[in-house]
């Protein structure tokens, strides 16, 4: 008979998400909303703290970042994040309590943000958007992996083609040398035949004189 504990399904760790907000209650709230989807949540209470985390850990599928933060705003933090090649493919969703005009919204998109979520956060909307962007990031990673595999295969094939061309060149050179050797041998045989003929003629001349 199974106990209640043994009947619980074992959850596997899901995608890792970095949540950046200077208010602890917002960090806790977002974590509580997303924990049922089995994401690994890493929290940072400032832009600087987020950058420090990202210095050592690049394995994030998504960054949820508050726009209004002291010292470094969400926009400024995003700009610094995307200056690093290892981080530039991580999607950033900005979280804000303000309704910005189009210029500021476009500013966020220009800095690499993929979407906005407005406070107060609607749990189902947050979960839905996070699920979409995590899936897109996963697909993008798979495509990049396939691209790397194809590139490696292409390099291997190119090397094989080059080696085959080099072998063909060597064979061509050997054939040319063989033809030259055959010509030299033919010429030597002709010279040898001519020498033998002349030698035979020179030997036969004294014999003819003796017979006479």
Q: What is the pLDDT of residues 140-193, one digit of tens each?
A: 777 777 777 777 777 877 888 888 888 888 888 888 888 888 888 888 888 777
Q: How far apart are CA 206 and CA 164, in angstroms?
A: 63
> Which residue carries 């309590």 as its tokens?
97
The DSSP string of 67-133 is S--SSS-HHHHHHHHTTSTTTTTS-EEEEESS---HHHHHHHHHTTEEEEEESSP-HHHHHHHHHHH
Residue 120 makes CB contacts below 8 A (sequence gap 6+) with 97
The pLDDT of residue 130 is: 93
Model pTM?
0.62
Helix (H) or strand (E) holding 62: strand 62-66
- Lowest mean pLDDT: which of 38-42, 127-131, 203-207? 203-207
**Residue (of 144, 131, 82) closest to 110 by Cα position:** 82
Q: How far apart are CA 29 and CA 17, in angstroms?
A: 14
The tokens for 130 are: 């996070």
Residues 78/112, Cβ–Cβ less than 8 Å = yes
Residue 81 makes CB contacts below 8 A (sequence gap 6+) with 50, 51, 54, 63, 87, 88, 90, 92, 112
> Which residue carries 């030299």 as its tokens?
184
pLDDT digits (tens, 9 = 90+) for 47-106: 999 999 999 888 899 999 999 998 899 999 999 999 998 898 899 999 988 766 566 676
Q: What is the mean predicted confidence (pLDDT) over 115-133?
A: 91
């Amino acid at each position: 008979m199974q106990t209640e504990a043994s009947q619980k399904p074992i959850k596997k760790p899901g995608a890792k998400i970095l949540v950046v907000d200077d208010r602890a209650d917002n960090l806790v709230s977002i974590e509580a909303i997303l924990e049922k989807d089995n994401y690994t949540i890493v929290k940072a209470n400032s832009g600087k703290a987020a950058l420090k985390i990202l210095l050592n850990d690049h394995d994030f599928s998504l960054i949820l970042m508050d726009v209004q933060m002291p010292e470094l705003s969400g926009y400024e933090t995003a700009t610094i994040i995307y200056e690093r090649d290892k981080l530039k493919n991580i999607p950033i969703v900005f979280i804000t309590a303000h309704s910005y005009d189009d210029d500021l919204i476009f500013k966020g998109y220009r800095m690499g943000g993929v979407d906005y979520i407005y406070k107060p956060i609607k749990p189902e909307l947050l979960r839905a958007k996070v699920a979409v962007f995590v899936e897109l990031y996963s697909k993008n990673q798979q495509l990049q992996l396939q691209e790397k595999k194809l590139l490696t295969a292409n390099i291997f094939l190119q090397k094989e083609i080059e080696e085959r061309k080099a072998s063909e060149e060597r064979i061509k050179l050997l054939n040319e040398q063989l033809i030259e050797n055959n010509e030299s041998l033919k010429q030597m045989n002709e010279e040898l035949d001519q020498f033998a003929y002349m030698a035979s003629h020179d030997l036969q001349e004294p014999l003819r004189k003796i017979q006479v």
